[in-house]
A and B are shown apart, each in its own frame.
Chain A
Amino acid sequence: MSATNCLRCLSRPSVSRGVVVPVFAPTRTAAAFSTTAVQNAMPSKAKSAENQDRSVKVYRAGRKMTIKKKSTTDRGKPPGPGERKAFRKKIVLSNDNALPVPWVPEMEAGSLSDPKQVGKIVSLPATLQDQLRATEAFQPTQTWGLFRKPSTLVREESVQLMGKMEKAVADKTTARIVLTGEKISGKSTMLLQAQSHAYLNGWIVIHLPDAQELTNGSTEYSPIPNTENPTLYMQQNYCLKLLQSIKKSNEKILAKLLSVSSHSELPQNITVNQPLLSLINAAKEAEGAWPVFQALWSELNAPAAANRPPILLSLDNLPHIMKPSAYRSSAFEPIHSHDLSLVKLFVDALSGNTRFPSGGAVIAATNRNNGPRIPSMELALKQRLAAQKGEEVERKDPYFKGYDERVERVLRSVEVLEVNRIGKREARSLMEYWAASGLLRTTVDEQTVSEKWTLGGGGVLGEMERAALLTMRV
């Protein structure tokens, strides 16, 4: 294709030649050297604002300052009230993508207390799952959602703990135990195991899933009438929630248990020989929840002749109830956590003031991540632990002011169970379970186990999970 333009002269052949002949007007001789096209001068512009004569006022006309509205992008419907929290607290207990592990047996009544079972994985039966869900024993931070079926490892500590619980039932005493240990070493899971054991053995379980909820000022509170020195406070909303969870998780047993005394003070009159389930049902609203809970507690602790089942009272995040709460009295003085009636109930049981007539256990777990530092509690636990091991007991610092005598009184005679690091044998069976679930893409031999065990701080279970399970390399 030939070019339409002559490339040498860059002039268009189509344009008539006659026009191109330049006419040099004498006035334009000065611009002979310019490379631009010959054009008439532009008409002179109006004077710019700077050069304008200031004496003459000129009003701007025709223009207005307008603020542009930001264009709002449609972000969709915001989550409704409570939806975010529900998402945060959502607990997923199964994962259909994970492989089922055929050789994991279901948990039975005696499987957690059997020393032969140490280092084995057992799965939670469906009914137990529902019960534990009702008491909020599962926590969203735990890795239940990765596996096909929720299962736990039977550890040496769990066998010890269940042994203590069984012994307490046999002796009709109350085992008072505090679980301590490093961060993510499995204290809350140990609580879950204790509850599982209790449910499977027909105990009544009352579980306070997070002590923080009781003391950080997030639920309503009111003084209990006719209490002086110190004034006690009830948290009716929390009580109602607790009653409902007790009802849901212990329904079968409570339906069989009959009341031994009449409770005319309740909104719904409860007479003798009515099932305790109807007693709980009497609490329809938050208003009467605390008296109903009190009535239930007195029924459960009825004299030994009533043949009540053993009770497990458990609480997670213990340090939160070992300090002044975020609540204030009418004189605007901080209320000590032990003056909150529910906490007082737990603390009385933990200190040994309340004894369960047919035996039982009070188990509390400390927390290290979010827990406040309570010097008295830390010292008391250290002292108990040293005394149990037969070592020299650390003394109280006589010049330190941060001790709390009420806390010391509570923890004076508790038993401390340290949730330690797991051994390599336990670690191996755990990792085999992970691999069998399709979550660990390696051959589980001694070397891998040793590697992950070391990476996990020498067998800190949560750290091992972080090292092997949560950072999977595909």
Chain B
Amino acid sequence: MASAANSLRLCLRASRQISARPATASPLLRRALTTTAAQCARPGRKKGWKDPSDNFEFPEPYGDKVFNDLGEQLRYSLENDELSEADRATVQRALTDWENRPNEDKLEEQQIIKDIDKEFATLRAPVRARKNSFWNSEEQDTDLITDEVGEDDFEENDMMAMGHAKLEEHREYREYARIAVWEMPLLSQFAKEFVPPKENEVLRFRYTTYMGEFHPADRKVVVEFAPRDLTELTEVQQSKLCKLAGARYNPEKQTIKMSCEKFELPAQNKRWLGDTIARLITAAKDPADTFEDIPLDTRHHKFKSTPKYPKEWYMSEERQQELLAQRKESLELDMKKRRVNELIDGVKLIKNGVLATVREQEPVAVRVKGR
């Protein structure tokens, strides 16, 4: 439908250029080309006024007022709008022009406008998703690059849409390649040298940005610090601070990590974090209760053990010598045993054992007389 409107617009535009209407006609006369209802564009916005048929914008409604014809609208405009002298004269001229026209003309124009209205009513009506539709598939996609109508028809005057799309893709690649070559190196001008935090810079903040896009998490600020670094606190106070931090304390890394996204701006969140840490420190310093009787709770943390290859198992020169010596010793032991025939051979023993039993038990047939 959108494409139908588009082609209709183009046709109307073409016909407008060859129309016999005088060019001096008020801008309101162009209304016949618009797809909107017969309403007057606000004369006050005349400066930035464009042909509404060109960019297909729907002008704002003229209040709640509904006009029957152009004359009425012009008259209303003369009475109520604040117009410059020149505009007023133009409008006055248009009005007289309108009034001087024959009645059939007026009726014809009204009829045209009515027809167009009727034609475009379906376009203007908001498309609602059907109840049983699957992913709202019947909705028109207005964001398509091509209008998909007659796309595959080759008319010998241009490349096909696919070709254009491919070209567009190439253009995009090349644009990014240009950026990579010419503009990215310039970023190094903004590089800052890493300065390790000083001893009094204990807190490490982390902010999140989504490169200018709105994101619900872009206000979040995270702070991490090690209670050990707070040198103003005694050991007891530090351990109290850890206990106060509860599940925010990581016993493996020995750090406290907290975050805030309560407020709208990152700065506000950061402020809140700073205040909270200050309050925690004052509480930790409070000598009324040092929490020394309470053991540190680490149930929230899962300790991970990463097995490492034991140091003793690495092969070294010494270890090699040691192993060689062991092997030599065992070889000598075997040799010694072999020499005195003390080495135990399972196979041989079994053979001997079996032979012995066979010799013992083999029955010998004896002839008994008389049988």
With A444-B344, A446-B333: A438-B353 Cβ-Cβ less than 8 Å? yes
Within 8 A of A (CB), among B305-353: 330-331, 333-334, 337, 343-347, 349-350, 353
B353: chain A residues within 8 A (beta carbon): 99, 438
A444 touches B295 (CB 8 A): no
Against A, the Cβ 8 Å flags (1 = close, 0 = not) of B271-297 are 000000000000000000000000101
Asked whether any CB of chain A lies closer than 8 Å to the CB of B131, the reply is no
Within 8 A of B (CB), among A413-463: 432, 434-436, 438-447, 450
Query: When the two chains form the complex, which single residue of A436, A441, A446 contacts B347, counting CB atoms closer than 8 Å?
Result: A441
Tell me how far the C-beta of A458 lies from the nearest C-beta in chain B, rounded to whole angstroms.
Answer: 13
With A399-B295, A432-B344: A99-B350 Cβ-Cβ less than 8 Å? yes
With A398-B295, A399-B299, A436-B344: A446-B349 Cβ-Cβ less than 8 Å? no
Query: When the two chains form the complex, which single residue of B295, B298, B333, B344 contacts A443, counting CB atoms closer than 8 Å?
Result: B344
A99 touches B349 (CB 8 A): yes
By beta carbon, the residue of chain A nearest B356 is A99
Interface size of B in residues (CB-CB distance below 8 Å): 17
B330 touches A446 (CB 8 A): yes
A435 touches B331 (CB 8 A): no
With A399-B295, A438-B350, A441-B350: A446-B345 Cβ-Cβ less than 8 Å? no
In Å, the complex CA distance between A450 and B333 comes to: 14
With A399-B297, A399-B299: A442-B334 Cβ-Cβ less than 8 Å? no
B295 touches A436 (CB 8 A): no
Tell me how far the C-beta of A170 lies from the nearest C-beta in chain B, rounded to whole angstroms.
Answer: 38
A445 touches B343 (CB 8 A): yes
By beta carbon, the residue of chain B nearest A441 is B346
Tell me how far the C-beta of B337 lies from the nearest C-beta in chain A, rounded to whole angstroms.
Answer: 8
Interface size of A in residues (CB-CB distance below 8 Å): 18
A444: chain B residues within 8 A (beta carbon): 343-346
Within 8 A of B (CB), among A378-400: 398-399
A99: chain B residues within 8 A (beta carbon): 349-350, 353
With A432-B344, A435-B345: A446-B350 Cβ-Cβ less than 8 Å? no
B349 touches A438 (CB 8 A): yes
Query: When the two chains form the complex, which single residue of A434, A439, A443, A450 contacts B345, counting CB atoms closer than 8 Å?
Result: A443
A443 touches B346 (CB 8 A): yes
- Chain B interface SS verdict (over half): helix
B334: chain A residues within 8 A (beta carbon): 445-446
With A99-B350, A441-B350, A446-B331: A435-B344 Cβ-Cβ less than 8 Å? yes
In Å, the complex CA distance between A443 and B353 comes to: 16
By beta carbon, the residue of chain A nearest B347 is A441
Tell me how far the C-beta of A425 lies from the nearest C-beta in chain B, rounded to whole angstroms.
Answer: 10
By beta carbon, the residue of chain A nearest B348 is A443
By beta carbon, the residue of chain B nearest A398 is B295
In Å, the complex CA distance between A395 and B82 comes to: 89
B330 touches A435 (CB 8 A): no
Tell me how far the C-beta of A357 lies from the nearest C-beta in chain B, rounded to whole angstroms.
Answer: 43
Tell me how far the C-beta of B203 lies from the nearest C-beta in chain A, rounded to whole angstroms.
Answer: 29
A441: chain B residues within 8 A (beta carbon): 346-347, 350
B343 touches A443 (CB 8 A): yes
In Å, the complex CA distance between A39 and B301 comes to: 93
In Å, the complex CA distance between A447 and B349 comes to: 19
Tell me how far the C-beta of B5 lies from the nearest C-beta in chain A, rounded to whole angstroms.
Answer: 66
Tell me how far the C-beta of B51 lies from the nearest C-beta in chain A, rounded to whole angstroms.
Answer: 77
Tell me how far the C-beta of A347 lies from the nearest C-beta in chain B, rounded to whole angstroms.
Answer: 29
A446: chain B residues within 8 A (beta carbon): 330-331, 333-334
In Å, the complex CA distance between A22 and B176 comes to: 97
A445: chain B residues within 8 A (beta carbon): 334, 337, 343
Tell me how far the C-beta of B330 lies from the nearest C-beta in chain A, rounded to whole angstroms.
Answer: 3
A442 touches B347 (CB 8 A): yes
By beta carbon, the residue of chain B nearest A472 is B346
With A443-B343, A445-B334, A446-B333: A435-B349 Cβ-Cβ less than 8 Å? yes
B346 touches A438 (CB 8 A): yes
B331: chain A residues within 8 A (beta carbon): 446
In Å, the complex CA distance between A443 and B334 comes to: 11
Tell me how far the C-beta of B2 lies from the nearest C-beta in chain A, rounded to whole angstroms.
Answer: 63
A435: chain B residues within 8 A (beta carbon): 344-346, 349
B344: chain A residues within 8 A (beta carbon): 432, 435-436, 443-444
By beta carbon, the residue of chain A nearest B352 is A99
Query: When the two chains form the complex, which single residue of A399, A436, A450 contacts B349, counting CB atoms closer than 8 Å?
Result: A436
Tell me how far the C-beta of B52 lies from the nearest C-beta in chain A, rounded to whole angstroms.
Answer: 73
A442: chain B residues within 8 A (beta carbon): 345-347
In Å, the complex CA distance between A36 and B92 comes to: 111
Against A, the Cβ 8 Å flags (1 = close, 0 = not) of B157-172 are 0000000000000000
By beta carbon, the residue of chain A nearest B295 is A398
A398: chain B residues within 8 A (beta carbon): 295, 297
B350: chain A residues within 8 A (beta carbon): 99, 438, 441
In Å, the complex CA distance between A450 and B337 comes to: 17
Tell me how far the C-beta of B349 lies from the nearest C-beta in chain A, rounded to whole angstroms.
Answer: 6
In Å, the complex CA distance between A151 and B108 comes to: 124
B346: chain A residues within 8 A (beta carbon): 434-436, 438-444
By beta carbon, the residue of chain A nearest B351 is A438
In Å, the complex CA distance between A128 and B331 comes to: 39
By beta carbon, the residue of chain B nearest A98 is B353
Among A398, A440, A441, A445, find the residue whose CB has the most chain B CB atoms closer than 10 A. A445
Within 8 A of B (CB), among A164-183: none
Against A, the Cβ 8 Å flags (1 = close, 0 = not) of B53-91 are 000000000000000000000000000000000000000
By beta carbon, the residue of chain B nearest A96 is B357
A447: chain B residues within 8 A (beta carbon): 330
B347: chain A residues within 8 A (beta carbon): 441-443
In Å, the complex CA distance between A379 and B325 comes to: 40
Tell me how far the C-beta of A397 lies from the nearest C-beta in chain B, rounded to whole angstroms.
Answer: 9
In Å, the complex CA distance between A399 and B346 comes to: 58
Tell me how far the C-beta of A427 lies from the nearest C-beta in chain B, rounded to whole angstroms.
Answer: 12
A439: chain B residues within 8 A (beta carbon): 346
In Å, the complex CA distance between A442 and B298 comes to: 55
Against A, the Cβ 8 Å flags (1 = close, 0 = not) of B346-371 are 11011001000000000000000000
In Å, the complex CA distance between A434 and B337 comes to: 17
Tell me how far the C-beta of B273 lies from the nearest C-beta in chain A, rounded to whole angstroms.
Answer: 28
In Å, the complex CA distance between A443 and B295 comes to: 60
B343: chain A residues within 8 A (beta carbon): 443-445
Within 8 A of A (CB), among B129-171: none
Within 8 A of B (CB), among A196-239: none
Tell me how far the C-beta of A393 lies from the nearest C-beta in chain B, rounded to whole angstroms.
Answer: 16
Tell me how far the C-beta of A264 lies from the nearest C-beta in chain B, rounded to whole angstroms.
Answer: 56
Tell me how far the C-beta of B180 lies from the nearest C-beta in chain A, rounded to whole angstroms.
Answer: 55
The 8 A-B residue pairs whose C-beta atoms are closest, nearest first, are A446-B330, A435-B346, A398-B295, A99-B353, A443-B345, A440-B346, A438-B350, A441-B346
Chain B residues close to A by CB (< 8 Å)? 295, 297-299, 330-331, 333-334, 337, 343-347, 349-350, 353
Mind listing 9 A-B residue pairs with CB under 8 Å? A399-B295, A435-B345, A435-B346, A436-B344, A436-B346, A441-B347, A443-B343, A446-B330, A447-B330
| A-B contacts besides A99-B350, A443-B347, A445-B343, 9 pairs, CB < 8 Å | A398-B297, A399-B295, A434-B346, A438-B353, A441-B346, A441-B350, A442-B345, A443-B343, A444-B346
